[in-house]
Amino acid sequence: MTGLRWEILTFTPLRLSNVKMRFPVFLTYGVALLTTSVPVLAIPKLQKEYRHRRLPTDPLVKRDTEGSCTDTSAFVDSSAPKANIFYGLSDLEVADVASWLFAQPDLNLTVTANATDWDNTITLIELLQPNKTDALAYLDGDSPPPTRNAHVILSISSVDEPYYADLIVGPLPAVEGTTTWTPLEYIYTKKAGGKVRNLDADYETVYYEWVSVITASVADITEDLIGGSATGSENDTLSVWGVDPYWQDDGRVVRWDSFFGYPEGDFDSMTLLPLGLYFKSDVTGRDPAEWEFQGWLYNNIFYETTEEFRAAWESPDFVKIPINTDGPWGHTDQQGPVLPMDVSQPPTLVAPTGARFTVDKDARFVKWMDFEFFISFNRDTGMHLHDVKYKGERIIYELGLQEALAHYAANDPFQSGTAYLDSYYGFGPYSFELVNGYDCPSYSTYLNTSFYTRETTRTHLNSICLFEHDPAYPLQRHSTGDYVSVTKNIIFTVRNICTIGNYDYMFSYEFYMDGSIGVDVRASGYIQSTNAANNGDYGYKITGESVSGSMHDHVINFKLDLDILGTENTMELTKLVPTTETYAWSKKPRNTMKLERNLLETEDDGKIFWDPFTQYSIINTDQVNEFGEYPGYRILPTASTAHLTILNSTNLENAANWVTHDLMVTAQHDTEPRSAHPYNSQDVFDPPVDFEAFFNGENLTQTDLVLWFNLGMHHVPHTGDLPNTVFTTAHSAIMITPHNYLATDASRQTVQQVRINYGGGNASEVTSFGQEPAQCVVGVSSEDYNLEGYLGDVVIRKFPYDPTDPWYETGWIGK
Amino acid sequence: MTGLRWEILTFTPLRLSNVKMRFPVFLTYGVALLTTSVPVLAIPKLQKEYRHRRLPTDPLVKRDTEGSCTDTSAFVDSSAPKANIFYGLSDLEVADVASWLFAQPDLNLTVTANATDWDNTITLIELLQPNKTDALAYLDGDSPPPTRNAHVILSISSVDEPYYADLIVGPLPAVEGTTTWTPLEYIYTKKAGGKVRNLDADYETVYYEWVSVITASVADITEDLIGGSATGSENDTLSVWGVDPYWQDDGRVVRWDSFFGYPEGDFDSMTLLPLGLYFKSDVTGRDPAEWEFQGWLYNNIFYETTEEFRAAWESPDFVKIPINTDGPWGHTDQQGPVLPMDVSQPPTLVAPTGARFTVDKDARFVKWMDFEFFISFNRDTGMHLHDVKYKGERIIYELGLQEALAHYAANDPFQSGTAYLDSYYGFGPYSFELVNGYDCPSYSTYLNTSFYTRETTRTHLNSICLFEHDPAYPLQRHSTGDYVSVTKNIIFTVRNICTIGNYDYMFSYEFYMDGSIGVDVRASGYIQSTNAANNGDYGYKITGESVSGSMHDHVINFKLDLDILGTENTMELTKLVPTTETYAWSKKPRNTMKLERNLLETEDDGKIFWDPFTQYSIINTDQVNEFGEYPGYRILPTASTAHLTILNSTNLENAANWVTHDLMVTAQHDTEPRSAHPYNSQDVFDPPVDFEAFFNGENLTQTDLVLWFNLGMHHVPHTGDLPNTVFTTAHSAIMITPHNYLATDASRQTVQQVRINYGGGNASEVTSFGQEPAQCVVGVSSEDYNLEGYLGDVVIRKFPYDPTDPWYETGWIGK
């Protein structure tokens, strides 16, 4: 799913200069543009254009025609009842922490732009999420907001065994003499003083002094076999990447590199151009003199030395495999005959009366109908929802992505070894601007997102959208001979899209009038293919050349901390079972079914495969409802989901022990806030967070529960994945839905329904419950999408922070 | 799911006259209104109003404001390339067959309105679907259309052992001397001369001379225990229904009857008012003198005689259970506080340029983009699609509903015994008018549907809708640092909704620009509940009185006759399996995964449970594609599905042997066109179609395959099912999707996509591929839905047919 990690953000001019090997931070931070010379002077202007273009009070609704819909504005601001203690640090807090860190001589930090492989740098400055204990004391009681602390990660590269250092810096604001740093360890299962080894500290050395030298040594062979060469020069015609994660067996650090072709023109199709030549090296330690080249692989023949490989290549019976070259099959633009009726504008969604929800733009606090929640955003996993209340009661303390695995398998070592744990790259930095009218309806309300990198706070404009829509089917209906009753199904969605290298993940949280909440992921973008030679057992051949749609599993882990009428909850498993019963009224035994109702007792039973005959509900057994049943919310898969096919993956070892099941239940602890760590890939045998360690037999009845569920897809790409996978079947979703939670269906509250009485051939009465019809017209021109103003990736504020320049304020674009 | 079968179409005035016991045909035919005095003179007027209201050239788009969207009309007519040989009989053909049948003295037929329980009547006159062999000869060759024959079912009630007679009447048109009738047997597994026993021939006698007498004998007890009485009079305050199907053990015909309360006011909530009193009778044979009352059941105590029951009731320690009475919890109208922002009109779908598809209104032939197909409609199962072509090649010969089972379980004999096989009632007669703007977008194109009953052809206006919509997520996208590419996801849907008693099934066939087709079912309407007393193992208590959300399974069987590049196809099962492998390049074994590709060999392996690690494709191994792979279409569940929990159901015996698995594959035979028969419930041990008999070990490689898949839900209703189940989670779906079928993704053909290049902080280029922007405005008033014209259920044409009166033409409303 990922792949070309350090390529995707580079500009074409830089790519021509062979930047792919020049940005060690890319692999680590997944951020690129910052080293380029984006003209700072242009930014205010762009920002202004943007503000003109998509202000919430702007335009798809408002029209200068008679009878146009009243512009009630796209949203009404509203104040959050409490501070958003989850959202993140302010720009000023970040700048203060950065200043404070540089002022600590014991940290020996170097500004990133000036750093070599042997300098210490700041990798991350973010809000350290408050402990749930402290957060609830504030949210539900009279306590002040939890003390704010920064979560800092340093890259300590000045030593022989480089590592990442997780620190707590606080309290904030950072003030010399008051604020201190301490190792961050308590939220990780590995107790190592907040240290994780860094296998990428010598990234630049590896590429320039090792990989390029090897690939240059066979330039004549690669020109012949795979149509180009990679020598580390600006004229390279091939790309070379290393596998992720490294082989870490027996204490060694081993890399496999693979050659890829460059796409033609503008398209990002490099992951469709694998060339089938691989080489292995042991790069353990920091001394290149100790590194060892270990062989070539071509057409499933392993050559231990370059000499051996060269001799084989020179022999007359050497067998060559086809070269993959780019073509229209890898390009996403319109192709093929235009269908005549396709040219006309298709049906579209409009919002005649503007938004029917409110947003506190500073607090990222959202209210839609009887739902309300806070939004947060972080580097590792992007957007989370917090303190989701429904009809005034909290139902979710936290809901958000934890980690996304893309695990491949193949006959070759590169794809076989690939098991991307995408939070390493981070979802936050790759949550790009959404395309209005395409990614989200044209009337959507947008929020910006920010993330830290290289002493700056960086903002993606319009990277979260919020909108209502009508899914073209009703929520409820019933017909009789006398009347029909139908209710519109208006769904409220919060969405962002993160493109991690080749793949685009769309995350949507969907709220329904019946009290249900859906968590929905779709995937599009480029597959990471492999060379089809010898890979018939691992994928389909999908081009006329030698591209295999390399099989892989996506497993995407989420945390769902449900709180049903308080934190003390229990999971009920209600199973429909076949049975043979004899009743008071039956003489013979009858084959029928009944319910088995069980409570989940301990974490020993907390790992679950979805059973289609079982219903899983989080209930509160201390709050029996007026009918004698337990109120709760049910969780169920609503599209296909996936856990990992592979058992005990050699690539992953202990780095992702949440992949084994569909749904996992643990007791909540402030010490177990996340199922993964972004650097688990750096030490797969002994990672900072081993999810397996969460399971220690704790009692799960009437205690604070956390659900960890996996979405995902088993993906065996076929020709229809060229040029891009489409969202149609690359889809996974769960829903949580009220279960004996209220006395009746909550959607009866909506006025967006109609009852029509009829009889004798006439409609006698139409009841519409006080809906206000919008007697008006709406503009529907797609030109109003204003795509000319799409910026992709802008707004940079440099360290040190200049609070006197308002253009650099990150936040709500409408402000 | 069903239940109040003979109630739902009765007008209030008739219900007050206690019609529930007066219409034996309702139970058989599921049709009611025809005996009422709908003023015929009013129909032309209504028809005309209708035509004014929702002509395809009508008005949601067109506006008298400057800049309004061009009215390109809601559809463009287009001619089908061939006749629709699947659609059904013309009204004239039906009238001719009816005339011809009445002219056959050996059939001894009586007009339905004049018939007693001992007369023979016509139950059905429909088109006998052509054999696939004959149809393909016409569709693909130069053969003339297949000979048209009528499928006639007679109710032969003039004999001691009443039966339904399935006949072929043909050739058509029916002409005395040329046309003949022969028993229809070859399409059923039971070879009984087309005869099925009829257990309902004495329906009226049963209710008036048996059930009412029994219930009257305990009127004092029922007044006390369950708050009313049923004596067969017009003043009855309770309703009594018999279980479906009858107990048919040991050659006996045994019924259980149950008491229900009447709802207050207008609502159809009777299935929420079960009163917990049941009685059993053996009604074998046609002589009421031979029938035997066998006992009462109340509060899980069985009383063999009324005397015993009465004595218990009179005893001081008799335990009474709560009475269920109607209330707002059973009413669908708006209830509860109105949410302020809910009053404004929500986002809605509009079609700025009208429909972008064509319909041949006579042939029911539809073309959307590169898809085209015919629609048919029949009494038993409603709407089917035929000869679905994609890019000029047939991919589906037939796709349609076969049967829907709603199987309950409970501690009481009524719910325990209930296993509705809904084609008994028929989906065709219950495919009601759709509510514009609610059931389907307001710009939808509608088709009418017709069905035969009681010597008339009856039409439901606007009961099929066709529309495109934007689901608020794109079809494809990819972002890089240089550009973003996004494609709109325009989906074309064909939908109808059938309300079988208490439950509303929404059937949607969805077509995607990538070549995928979805089959989607949602369920709403009233649950059939049971009395909560003693039913804790079978459902939740969901009211303060004594209503149990009675557990049940919906299993809904479809036929999918796929033809991939010809009729000779094979199913491939591609399984992702964990494995441990040692490679040329690995010294140690590696835990990884690979593909196992198997072909389905014979019908012995043709019954499949969905395995999440297996991909199921229908491929053509004789048509290897240019890359060496087999072209095909994959079938996959895209929402939850269900097969029956119960093993060897005592209610069903052999009547529904398709319930056991998720996906079943058989060799196509003209003798096996449908998995069920509408009267399978009449003889569950030896039904006319026993699906199990389709499986006889035939080879399935490169032969004509038919898939039979089940959608459905395991439903344990909870409080959120009151008053109605909502569509949100009552959802089941599969999709078929191209699989190595074309060289690349077909959606690249659409112009509804955009590429935005950017860099250096600017969008440098926006490419929109020739899309025509609609620079215009669209009216969005919900008042344009014209719901005042909703008719529900109209247009009756009496036998004998009068071809001189055009108002009675059934068909396309725009004609």
pLDDT digits (tens, 9 = 90+) for B206-258: 999 999 999 999 999 999 999 999 999 989 999 999 999 999 999 999 999 99
Instruction: Select from B506, B637, B750 the Cβ nearest to the Cβ of A342.
Output: B750
Lowest-pLDDT choice from A455-459, A501-505, B411-415, B424-428: A455-459
- In this model, does residue B602 exceed pLDDT 60? yes
Q: Provide the CB-side half-sphere exposure for A88 (13 A, CA).
A: 28
* Alpha carbon separation from B457 to A311, B7, B90, B799 (Å, rounded): 84, 21, 9, 8
Over chain A, what is the mean pLDDT? 87
Check residue B783 and give its pLDDT.
63
Check residue A777 and give its pLDDT.
73
Chain A environment of B249 (Cβ under 8 Å): 588
Quickly state the pLDDT bin for A70 (edges 50, 70, 90): low
CA distance, residue B376 to nearest chain A CA (Å): 23
Cross-chain residue pair B735–A753, CB shorter than 8 Å: no
Check residue A701 and give its pLDDT.
98
Cross-chain residue pair B723–A735, CB shorter than 8 Å: no
Cross-chain residue pair A722–B745, CB shorter than 8 Å: yes
Q: What is the mean pLDDT of residues A456-484?
A: 93
User: How many H-runs (helices) and E-runs (strands) does chain A carry?
Assistant: 10, 41
CA distance, residue B455 to nearest chain A CA (Å): 20
CA distance, residue A151 to nearest chain B CA (Å): 28
Cross-chain residue pair B640–A612, CB shorter than 8 Å: yes
Separation between Cα atoms, residue B395 and residue B387, nearest integer Å: 8
Backbone angles phi, psi at A191, to 5 degrees: -100, 90
Q: Provide the CB-side half-sphere exposure for B211 (13 A, CA).
A: 27
Separation between Cα atoms, residue A388 and residue A559, nearest integer Å: 14
Separation between Cα atoms, residue A311 and residue A313, nearest integer Å: 5
Percent of chain A, pLDDT > 70? Answer: 86
- What contacts A249, CB < 8 A, 6 or more positions away? B588
Pick among A366, A484, A550 to test the B interface (most B CBs inside 10 A): A484
Region of residue B244 (phi > 0: left; psi between -120 and 50: alpha; otherwise: beta): beta
Instruction: Select from A343, A639, A718 the Cβ nearest to the Cβ of B771.
Output: A343
Chain B environment of A548 (Cβ under 8 Å): none
Cross-chain residue pair B504–A351, CB shorter than 8 Å: no
Quickly state the pLDDT bin for A593 (edges 50, 70, 90): very high
Cross-chain residue pair A773–B32, CB shorter than 8 Å: no
CA distance, residue A368 to nearest chain B CA (Å): 9
Separation between Cα atoms, residue B435 and residue B444, nearest integer Å: 11
What residue of B is the nearest CA neighbor of A336? B749
Q: What is the mean pLDDT of residues A595-611?
A: 98
CA distance, residue A313 to nearest chain B CA (Å): 18
- In this model, does residue B10 exceed pLDDT 70? no
CA distance, residue B333 to nearest chain A CA (Å): 7
Instruction: Select from A478, A629, A721 the Cβ nearest to the Cβ of B332.
Output: A478
Lowest-pLDDT choice from A359-363, A704-708, B72-76, B83-87: B72-76
Instruction: Select from B504, B543, B771 the Cβ nearest to the Cβ of A477.
Output: B504
Check residue A793 and give its pLDDT.
60
Is the separation of the CB atoms in A491 and A469 below 8 Å?
Answer: yes
Chain B environment of A762 (Cβ under 8 Å): 42, 46, 791
Quickly state the pLDDT bin for B70 (edges 50, 70, 90): low
Q: Is A422 marked active-site?
A: yes
User: Which residue, chain included where needed, has tokens 């898939």?
Assistant: B707
Q: What is the mean pLDDT of residues B548-556?
A: 98
Over chain B, what is the mean pLDDT? 87
Check residue B69 and give its pLDDT.
63
Among A344, A367, A349, CA closest to A357:
A367
- What's the alpha-carbon Rg for chain A, to the nearest Å? 28
Cross-chain residue pair A345–B739, CB shorter than 8 Å: no
**Residue-wise DSSP of B577-632:** EEEEE--TT-SS-EEEEEEEEEE--BGGG-EE---TTEEEEEE-TTS--TTS---E
Q: What is the mean pLDDT of residues A19-25?
A: 22
Q: What is the mean pLDDT of residues A345-353?
A: 92
Q: What is the mean pLDDT of residues B68-90?
A: 75
Lowest-pLDDT choice from A282-291, A515-524, B82-91, B789-798: B789-798
Q: Bridge partners of A189? A: none
- In this model, does residue B58 exceed pLDDT 70? no
Backbone angles phi, psi at A163, to 5 degrees: -150, 165
Q: What is the mean pLDDT of residues B790-797?
A: 56
Cross-chain residue pair A508–B648, CB shorter than 8 Å: no
The amino acid that residue B291 corresponds to is W
Q: Could you say which of B422, B439, B514, B721 is catalytic?
A: B422
Higher pLDDT: A71 or B244? It is: B244
Check residue B53 and give its pLDDT.
26
Is the separation of the CB atoms in B766 and A455 below 8 Å?
Answer: no
Check residue B744 and give its pLDDT.
97
Separation between Cα atoms, residue A365 and residue B329, nearest integer Å: 33
Check residue B361 and give its pLDDT.
82
Residues B616-672 have pLDDT tens digits of 999 999 999 999 999 999 999 999 999 999 999 999 999 999 999 999 999 999 999
Instruction: Select from B39, B477, B645 the Cβ nearest to the Cβ of A593.
Output: B645
Percent of chain B, pLDDT > 90? Answer: 78
CA distance, residue B75 to nearest chain A CA (Å): 11
Q: Could you say which of B164, B397, B503, B512 is catalytic?
A: B503
Chain A environment of B628 (Cβ under 8 Å): 541
Cross-chain residue pair B788–A771, CB shorter than 8 Å: no
Q: Is B422 marked active-site?
A: yes
Regarding beta strands B76-77 and B357-360, do their DSSP bridges make them parallel or antiparallel, or are they unpaired?
Answer: parallel
Check residue A457 and give its pLDDT.
83
Higher pLDDT: A50 or B582? It is: B582
Instruction: Select from B354, B726, B745 the Cβ nearest to the Cβ of A720.
Output: B745
- For B633-655, letters b (16+ CB in 10 Å) and e give bbbbbbbbbbbbbbeebbbbbbb
Cross-chain residue pair A650–B348, CB shorter than 8 Å: no
Interface A–B counts its CB contacts (< 8 A) at: 723
Residues A146-204 have pLDDT tens digits of 999 999 999 999 999 999 999 999 999 999 999 999 999 999 999 999 999 999 999 88
- In this model, does residue A80 exceed pLDDT 50? yes
Lowest-pLDDT choice from A54-58, B410-414, B497-501: A54-58
Residues A724-779 have pLDDT tens digits of 999 999 999 999 999 999 999 999 999 999 999 987 667 778 999 988 877 677 77
Check residue B793 and give its pLDDT.
60
B79 alpha carbon, distance to own chain's centre: 28
Quickly state the pLDDT bin for A560 (edges 50, 70, 90): very high
- In this model, does residue A26 exceed pLDDT 90? no
Cross-chain residue pair B645–A576, CB shorter than 8 Å: yes
Separation between Cα atoms, residue A509 and residue A333, nearest integer Å: 29
Pick among B465, B479, B503, B777 to test the A interface (most A CBs inside 10 A): B479
Percent of chain A, pLDDT > 90? Answer: 78
Chain B environment of A264 (Cβ under 8 Å): none
What residue of B is the nearest CA neighbor of A743? B719
Q: What is the mean pLDDT of residues A262-276?
A: 94
Residues A356-415 have pLDDT tens digits of 999 998 899 999 999 999 999 999 999 999 999 999 999 999 999 999 999 999 999 999
Is the separation of the CB atoms in A278 and A296 below 8 Å?
Answer: yes
Q: Could you say which of A257, A380, A422, A683 is catalytic?
A: A422
Cross-chain residue pair B472–A476, CB shorter than 8 Å: no
Instruction: Select from A353, A439, A625 the Cβ nearest to the Cβ of B477.
Output: A439
A285 alpha carbon, distance to own chain's centre: 32
Check residue A266 and give its pLDDT.
83
Higher pLDDT: A45 or A61? It is: A61
* Alpha carbon separation from A88 to A84, A130, A180, A692, A810 (Å, rounded): 9, 11, 19, 29, 12
Check residue A758 and give its pLDDT.
84
